[in-house]
């Protein structure tokens, strides 16, 4: 051993390219990016290393390096999901479905131009109602109040769950050339992809216009027919399906909404797309980003990707066909964290479900009806009755007198209100009944005495 070798132990450890400057999720060997750690041994004031220690320390160093890399990869690298085909798919009450959104209670809403509105289903996939829209609906999102944000051609309306318009984005009709996908960030800001205007328009939660992102082109931050759009909460970014460019682009959801990165190119191979149209994300139990799912309409499949850095292919879900687990023209994909299910909308007329890492269809819905406290005695002939319901259900209100109950209105997905008019003198019995599509019935009654 030379004097130099006695002074230094050269340990070559490659830590590779960190794929994301904010989240260290994957380490990989590369001989093009070696980093050297020089360990200098000093014994009794001399700079040397005994021959007998050199092989021992060398083995220890490489073992520790291998262990560190192994533990890092196991802790942070995303893995392919364990996927289960959940049957049967939802096909009834669908014509040409386009986009889907879950509410906080697991009910889902599907925009469907052929049906003339939005089809609402409970978490079991049973049809609840058709919410009519004045124009053909396209994209949909649900805000914190349970209201529906729905794109309809050249406008985007804010609707309650009965379909009544309570607001709109921007100037209303004419604000867009073709409003498509809709996303809402953690601050309530609303993002709408405008397919024919080749950009994304940003609005406050109240519908005031903020900014336009992108323009027509093939460069970073530019678009060619953008469609799907989704908020990625772990990094506070907006992911946009740049459909005709065959890629997914990411932007900051704050500040100047800067362009961040691109995943994918145009093509048929892994990490390539022909017609990406929908994007979904799932997360670990700690809230960190786990996987990205991209629906490719032309390839009739869902590509599963580790979205760290420039992306890494993990798996493909589905293929072309009509059988269970196969897809035909998938246009949207949404992940429901409550049930660990991936919902895939096929414009051919169905919504398919896949269990992710043990996800399954709910077996039952617990029906719980509550009614807000009411006074025993009132001085006027009308009274407002309201309450909550834990799942989607049909609510009826009746009286044992000539007093009449108004139509039930829903102020959110689980809050209802009814006005009783024409109370008669003396006691009035009011009965409230909630019935879900499994036949589960909840009842509540209250007696009110009217004394002018």
pLDDT of residue 346: 97
CATH fold label, 83-356: Neuraminidase (2.120.10)
Separation between Cα atoms, residue 228 and residue 195, nearest integer Å: 9
Residue predicted with more confidence, 28 or 394: 394
pLDDT of residue 124: 87
369-450 belongs to which CATH class? mainly beta
* Average pLDDT rounded to a whole number, residues 302-329: 95
Question: How do beta strands 42-43 and 330-336 pair?
Answer: unpaired
Separation between Cα atoms, residue 138 and residue 136, nearest integer Å: 7
Q: What is the pTM of this model?
A: 0.69
Of all residues in the chain, the percent with pLDDT exceeding 90 is: 66
pLDDT of residue 391: 60
pLDDT of residue 172: 77
pLDDT of residue 442: 83
pLDDT of residue 10: 34
In the chain, what are the domain boundaries?
Answer: 3-76, 83-356, 369-450
Which tokens in the block code for residue 109?
């809403």
Q: What is the mean pLDDT of the chain?
A: 84
- 153-181 pLDDT per residue, tens: 999 999 998 889 999 998 877 899 999 99
Instruction: Judge whether residue 420 has pLDDT over 70.
Output: yes
pLDDT of residue 412: 74
Handedness of CA 123, 124, 127, 128 (dihedral sign): negative
Instruction: Judge whether residue 6 has pLDDT over 60.
Output: no
pLDDT of residue 365: 57
Do 83-356 and 369-450 have matching folds?
no
Instruction: Judge whether residue 76 has pLDDT over 70.
Output: no
Supply φ then ψ for residue 108, to 5 degrees: -130, 150
């Amino acid at each position: 051993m030379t004097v130099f070798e006695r002074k230094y132990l050269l340990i070559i450890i490659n830590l590779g390219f960190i794929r994301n400057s904010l989240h260290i999720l994957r380490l990989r060997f590369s001989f093009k990016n070696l980093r050297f750690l020089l360990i200098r041994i000093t014994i009794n004031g001399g700079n040397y290393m005994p021959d007998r220690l050199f092989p021992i320390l060398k083995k220890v160093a490489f073992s520790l390096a291998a262990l560190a890399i192994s533990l890092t990869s196991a802790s942070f690298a995303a893995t392919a999901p364990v996927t289960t085909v959940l049957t049967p798919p939802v096909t009834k009450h669908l014509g040409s479905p386009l986009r889907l959104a879950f509410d906080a209670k697991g009910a889902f809403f599907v925009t469907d131009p052929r049906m003339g509105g939005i089809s609402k289903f409970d978490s079991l996939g049973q049809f609840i109602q058709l919410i009519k829209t004045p124009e053909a609906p396209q994209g949909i999102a649900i805000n914190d109040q349970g209201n529906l944000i729905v794109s309809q051609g050249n406008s985007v309306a804010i609707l309650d769950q009965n379909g009544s318009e309570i607001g709109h984005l921007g100037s209303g009709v004419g604000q867009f050339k073709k409003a498509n996908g809709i996303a809402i960030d953690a601050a309530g800001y609303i993002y709408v992809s405008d397919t024919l205007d080749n950009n994304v328009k940003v609005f406050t939660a109240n519908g005031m216009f903020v900014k336009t992102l992108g323009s027509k082109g093939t460069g970073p931050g530019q678009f060619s027919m953008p469609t799907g759009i989704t908020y990625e909460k772990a990094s506070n970014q907006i992911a946009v399906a740049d459909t005709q460019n065959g890629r997914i682009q990411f932007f900051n959801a704050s500040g100047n909404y800067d362009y961040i990165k691109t995943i994918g190119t145009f093509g048929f191979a892994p990490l390539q797309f022909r017609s990406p149209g929908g994007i979904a994300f799932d997360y670990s139990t700690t809230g960190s980003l786990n996987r990205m799912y991209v629906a490719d309409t032309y390839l009739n499949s869902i590509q599963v990707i580790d979205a760290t850095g420039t992306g890494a292919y993990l798996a493909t879900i589905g293929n072309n066909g009509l059988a269970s687990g196969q897809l035909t023209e998938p246009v949207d994909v949404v992940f429901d964290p409550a049930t660990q299910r991936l919902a895939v909308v096929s414009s051919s007329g169905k919504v398919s479900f896949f269990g992710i890492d043990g996800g399954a269809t709910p077996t039952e819905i617990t029906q719980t009806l509550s009614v807000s406290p009411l006074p025993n005695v009132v001085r006027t002939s009308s009274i407002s009755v309201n309450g909550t319901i834990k799942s989607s259900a049909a609510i009826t209100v009746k009286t044992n007198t000539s007093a009449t109950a108004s139509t039930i209105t829903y102020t959110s997905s689980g809050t209802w209100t009814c006005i009783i008019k024409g109370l008669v003198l003396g006691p009035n019995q009011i009965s409230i009944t909630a019935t879900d599509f499994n036949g589960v019935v909840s009842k509540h009654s209250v007696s009110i005495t009217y004394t002018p």
